[in-house]
Amino acid sequence: MSIETLKICGIVILLAPLAGAVLAGALGPVKLHGRSHWPAILGVAAAFIAAIVLFGQVRSAPAGETAAAVSVYEWITNGTDAAFTVDFLIDPLTAIMLLTVTGISLLVVIYSRDYMREHGSPLRGYERFFAFLALFVFSMCALVLSGNFLLLYLGWEAVGLCSYLLIGFYYGRPAAAAAAKKAFLVNRVGDFGFGLGILLIYFTFGTLEYGLVFQMVQEGMTGVGDALTNGRITTIALLLLCGACGKSAQLPLHVWLPDAMEGPSPVSALIHAATMVTAGVYMIARCGAIFTASPIAMTAVAIVGGITALFAATIALAQTDMKRILAYSTISQLGYMVLGVGVYAADSAIFHLFTHAFFKALLFLAAGSVMHAMGGIIDIRQFGGLRKILPWTFLTFMAGSLALAGFPLLSGFFSKDEIIHHALTVHPVLGVLGLVTALLTAFYTFRMVFLAFYGPQRVPEGVHPHESGKWMLVPLVILSIGAIGAGYVNIEATGRSFHHFLAPVFEHTFAAASPAHAAAHGVAATAHAGFWTEYGLMIISGGLAIVGILAAYILYMRQDWLPGLIRASAPRSYRTLWNKYYFDEVYDAGVVEPARQTAHVCVGLDDYLIDGLLWLVTAIVRGIGLLLRPFQSGMLQGYALSMVAGIAIIVLLVFWA
Amino acid sequence: MTPTTAHLLYLIFALGGVGIYLLLPKAGRSQALAGAVIGVISVAGLLTVLAARVILPDATTVYFYLFATIAVLAAARVITHPKPVYCALYFVLVVIAVAALLVLQRAEFLAVALVMIYAGAILVTYLFVIMLAYQGGSPVYDRRSREPLLAVLAGFVLMAAVAGRAEDLPQPASPPTVAVPTADAQDAASQLHDSNTGAIGAAVMTKYVVALEIAGVLLLVAMVGAIAMSRKKVPVERFAAPVRPIGQVGREVEPY
Amino acid sequence: MPGIAEYLILGAILFALGLVGFLSRRNLIVIFLSTEVMFQGVVINAVAFARLHHHIDGQAFALFQLVIAAVEAGLALGMIVLLYRRRGTLDSEAWSLMRG
């Protein structure tokens, strides 16, 4: 692949959405108004085309030369040794991520054209939305394309900023503004650890370039030539994990994602399902060298992922807001991805990321379509039987739900299955947790489907539901095709092309470490298990999905007095699940309140201490003025007295000293 | 002057300061009596201290101390009396005492000139102005002083500083009665001639003639200034020429 | 025979008394009268120094002192009359326009 082509593709991918954002933001309010979506759509489309070209370039590269570091320009330098460049690292992982990001973004932007028309906010809502959305695409692409930790951090923070701007899009609503603040601040906690990790990397290795750092890690050397200690690399890995927890909404920093549903549905689809939240997974996959060098960190990653997956699934069982259910489902699926990376199955994790992007974005956009039809209401207790009223929405929603639940032969089935398989090999407990989570996932997904789309037709007061327009439905259909068929790129029949494509990225890191790890634990590790083991697992997980769907069918379609009975018989458990395990309340009391009290103390300090010092300065000046003012009485004799006193003193000094 | 004499002098000066302070017009009960007593005591003490050094008093010394006493007491009364007329009259007394002292120093011309100019001209003018600005009764600015304490302090500290060092100068050998020719031949004009008047006249007319001329100009300027200051302003319109419109014929009428 | 010291002390006393009067009295006329008392002290000093140095210059200086004193008295009294016409009072505290 030619470096020049890659460079041009990379620059187009970055600058086209940015130009779209600037045009939409600058010209939108004055000239474009209702046509402000065009700069964004064109920019993201150009980026998508460039991503396809880039993908073609990487695909056609001969084996062994699939990675390229493309330097664009020197950014910061102190003239002698330290220099930070803007450079890209383009390899199969980058290509896959870019395709996913730009593709889903394009569909979401097209969808938003119709959606935001009715659900925009005053104060230039329409133009503002597209400007921020295009800015987000730019930031995410910068994050993915980056070839060093500095640009990664820049993209990381930029996506956090865009997330804040877009969650708080309806900034007139106090709930939305609070949710945006919460997202940004919780991300900040994670980013603090992440930043410390990057600083530690620079301090240890003397450089932030991926290639150099990973090489030094694999050699076990630091930048100055000393040996790399286990403690150091573990610390770095755990700090990076901190950042991933924040961005990918893992325990304990997951609290921002459900509240982020205050933003418009396209935002939830793009940012909080398909792209931004996957940045953490991407980062761990990219820094495989660092993580695999520390078994403790890998265990931590796996545990965090596995527990988060189960935990979020249990909460989703008791929620009644459709978007909240989907949000907790996202947290749970992200937990799967993190678990996948933690059990040395990074390619499976990226595969799940790929398929999850399709069906989760689809589900959110379809939920947006439902909201659109129901006049802004999304509480599944308030409507029902929408199957006949919104046929296309129902069909696409069903496709996405089946994929999410892991129904056999759909995309989610294949990707989830691989992760559980690897988990059972490395950490059996976590693998079992994964299976239980799969069952719960199917259950709560179809609880949502049956309550919303089946049963007697119920519509909220005064709402006239109508199916959405073409601009909204076409992306839904495209995404459902992807949700159904995306899994087929990786099955045996097509030669596991996805994994083969990604293999060069991970062969030195995850794939190499996995056998070593397995050997240390005395378990036979194979990339492809035996026929019966692998297909047996497929049957079990497929069966679990069907069992979950059936259970939901029975509870919500047949014996629909049963959920009420369960709720009444275990009220405390139900309340705990409904209140999300009281995480928000604990954080509020333990973190927010002390911060607020500290702020009060600081305000007091500012008012009394600092302003007091200022007052003291002015008081001194005023006092001196008060002392000196009588000397200027305007009375001639007073002045004469001062003069005589001066003469007397001088005479005394001259004659007597 | 021995150090003890110096310290005594300072003590007397301090006492005199207290006396003047008590004598200055103040609000409240008048302490003039106490002040007067203290003042007299201090003057007496001064005389004693200074005169005690004289072994055999001759006429000049006696007259000196007599007129000095009169001068000091009168000057004290000038500055402390509540009524301005009395201040002026006491000032006349000061002038006469000083003239006497000048005569003692063989400066007769100056003594007479002092009496003529001060007592004759300046004091009369003062009395005229006092009568012009007569306010009747005892206005507040005559009954109270500004910062008497600070003024007395400043003045007496200055006085003590200067007077305490007066002894450092050498004494004249003998009172010159006739001119003692100086070594400087060019200074012939400044030698004492037969009479004091002649000597001053010779000095002023030859050596200080420029200063004399300037003094004359100064007096002229002062006279013009005094007249210009105190004249009443007259509105200009009364003397303005009448504006005659073009083309108008007729008899001119005087404006006034 | 009183030496130079006595005359100088006397001159200092007269000067200081005049100074105290100038600084502490409020009547404009008495203020200028005290100035004249200061002049008397200066004249005594000048003539005493003339006697000390056997020169006539001191007495000539005292003569010009008289001229200055006369000039000053004339102008001062003219100004006092003007000030009295402005404010109707001879109080020196009435004139504090230069305050601040």
Interface test with A, best of B150, B156, B159, B168 (most A CBs within 10 A): B150
- Say how far apart CA C57 and CA C45 lie, in whole Å: 12
Closest CA to A548 of A425, A652, A408, A371: A408
Residues in CB range of A490: below 8 A, 6 or more apart: A351, A414, A415, A496, A497, A498, A499
Residue of C nearest to B167 (CA): C5
Mutate to test the interface with A, among C8, C22, C90 (most CBs of A within 10 A): C22
What's B124's domain CATH number? 1.20.120.1200
Contacts of B158 in chain A (CB under 8 A): 644, 647-648, 651
How many structural domains does chain B have? Answer: 2
Phi-psi region of B29 (alpha: psi -120 to 50; beta: other; left: phi over 0): beta
Amino acid at A142: A
**A640 contacts C99? CB cut-off 8 A:** no
| Cβ of residue B170 closer than 8 Å to a chain C Cβ | yes
Residue B108: both structure tokens together: 């007769």
Segment C9-35 shows an average pLDDT of 93
Of B146, B154, B164, the CB nearest to A648: B154
Q: Which of A634, A637, A640 sits opposite C97 (nearest CB)?
A: A634
Confidence at B242, pLDDT banded by 50, 70, 90:
low
Q: Tell me the C-alpha to C-alpha distance, in Å, between residue A461 and each of A375, A382, A449, A464, B101.
A: 10, 9, 21, 9, 124
Q: Among the residues of A210-321, which ranges form H helices?
A: 210-219, 230-247, 256-259, 265-269, 279-286, 288-292, 295-316
Are B87 and B192 part of one and the same domain? no
Q: Is residue B125 part of a domain?
A: yes
Given a cut of 50, whether residue B178 has pLDDT beyond it is no
Say what the pLDDT of residue A616 is. 93
Q: pLDDT value at position B216?
A: 95
Residues B99 and B192 in one domain: no
- For residues B196 and B146, membership in a common domain is answered with no
Average the pLDDT over each of A174-188, A502-516, C48-62, C75-89 and give the range with the smallest value: A502-516
Residue B28 placed within a domain: yes
In the predicted model, is pLDDT for residue B109 greater than 90? yes
- Tell whether A599 lies on the interface with C, counting CB pairs under 8 A: no
Tell me if B172 is assigned to some domain: no
Does residue B119 sit within a domain? Answer: yes
CB burial of A290-311 (b: ≥16 within 10 Å; e: otherwise) equals bbbbbbebbbbbbbbbbbbbbb
Higher pLDDT: B128 or A274? It is: B128
Nearest to A93 by CA among A423, A351, A345, A271: A351
CA atoms within 13 Å, Cβ hemisphere of A471: 14
Percentage with pLDDT > 90 across chain B = 28
pLDDT of the residue at A388: 83
Which pLDDT does position B177 carry in this prediction?
46
**Residue B244 domain flag:** no
Q: Which of A417-421, B11-15, B138-142 bottoms out in mean pLDDT, i.e. has the lowest?
A: B138-142
Please indicate, yes or no, whether residues B43 and B143 belong to a single structural domain of this protein.
yes
- Both B103 and B227 in one domain: the answer is no
Helices and strands counted in chain A (H then E): 28, 2
Whether A614 and chain C come into contact, CB under 8 Å, resolves to: no
Q: How confident is the model at residue B179 (pLDDT cuts 50, 70, 90)?
A: very low
Q: Which residues of B touch C47 (CB under 8 A)?
A: 102, 105, 107, 110
Please identify every stretch of chain A with a pLDDT value under 50, giving residue numbers as ranges. 524-529
Q: Is the pLDDT of residue B106 over 60?
A: yes
pTM: 0.68
Q: A-chain residues within 8 Å CB-CB of B146?
A: 635, 637-638
Specify whether B40 is located in the same domain as B121. yes
- Greater pLDDT, C59 or A120: C59
Query: In this complex, is the C-beta atom of A652 within 8 Å of any C-beta atom belonging to chain B?
Result: yes
Tokens of A649: 């003193």
Predicted local distance difference test score (pLDDT) of residue A516:
59
Q: Of A638, A641, A651, which is closest to B161 when you measure between CB atoms?
A: A651
Which chain A residues are closer than 8 Å to B1 by Cβ? none
More confident residue, A535 or B124: B124
* pLDDT band, residue B169 (cuts 50/70/90): low
Which candidate in A631, A642, A652, A654 is best for mutational testing of the B interface (most B CBs within 10 A)?
A: A652
Q: Is A629 on the interface with C (CB under 8 A)?
A: yes
- Within a domain: B174: no
CA distance C13 to chain B (A): 6
Residue B131 C-beta-side C-alpha neighbours within 13 Å: 5
- Decide if B90 touches C, using CB distance below 8 A: no
The pLDDT of residue C16: 94
For residue A197, the one-letter residue type is G
Contacts of A165 (CB under 8 A, 6+ apart): A132, A135, A180
Mean pLDDT, chain B, rounded, equals 80
Rounded CA separation A581/A315 (Å):
8
Banded pLDDT at B168 (limits 50, 70, 90) = low
B240 belongs to a structural domain: no
pLDDT at A32: 66
CA B125 to chain centre: 15
How far apart are the C-alpha atoms of A359 and A482, rounded to whole Å?
A: 8
CB atoms within 10 A of CB B184: 9
- Say if C76 is an interface residue toward chain B (CB within 8 Å): no
CA pair distance B153, B18, nearest whole angstrom:
9
The reported pLDDT for the residue numbered A564 is 79
User: pLDDT class for B186, splitting at 50, 70, 90?
Assistant: very low
Residue B156 has pLDDT above 80, yes or no: yes
DSSP string computed for A270-290 = IIIIISGGGHHHHHHHHTHHH
In a domain, B243, yes or no: no
Nearest chain B residue to C85, by CA: B133
Percent of chain B at pLDDT exceeding 70: 77
What is the extent of the structural domain holding B193? 188-233
For C40, the closest of B20, B95, B141 (CB atoms) is: B95
Contact assignment for A634 to C96 by CB distance below 8 Å:
yes
pLDDT of res. B2: 67
Distance CA C26, CA B145 (A): 6
Q: Minimal Cα–Cα distance from A656 to chain B, Å?
A: 8
Provide the pLDDT for residue B246.
60
Residue B189's pLDDT band (boundaries 50, 70, 90)?
very low
Give the whole-number percent of chain C exceeding pLDDT 70.
98
